[in-house]
Amino acid sequence: TPALADAGLDTLIFTDVTRDGTLRGLDRDLMAQVRQLWAHTLIVGGGVANTDDVRLLQDERIEGAIVGRAIYEGTLPYPVTLD
């Protein structure tokens, strides 16, 4: 990934297609691995289900997530608020 950053790529959007649209939650280990490999802005997707996934974003210092079904199905409130 250093070559991508050296080429000017600033933001990476990574989607776990095995979880996309499933509401199974983000894969914590996979998200940690991607964060470790990419030090720049990271947006993830694939399985986002609820505020636990938002906390994972905070824990792993991931800048954002793509959500759709979680908001549509009402499992992730909008706007998101964490206690």
List pLDDT tens digits, range 32-83.
999 999 999 999 999 999 999 999 999 999 999 999 999 999 999 988 888 7
Q: Looking at residues 11-34, what average pLDDT do you find?
A: 97
**In 1-83, which ranges are continuous DSSP H helix?**
2-6, 28-37, 51-59, 69-73
- Nearest alpha-carbon partner for 47 in 63, 35, 31: 31
Q: Looking at residues 15-32, what average pLDDT do you find?
A: 97
Residue 3 CA, chain-centre distance (Å), reads 22
Q: What is the 8-class DSSP label of residue 30? A: H
2-73: CATH topology is Rossmann fold (3.40.50)
pLDDT at 38: 95
In the chain, the N- to C-terminal Cα span, in Å, equals 35
pLDDT at 5: 81
67 bridge partner residues: none
pLDDT at 3: 86
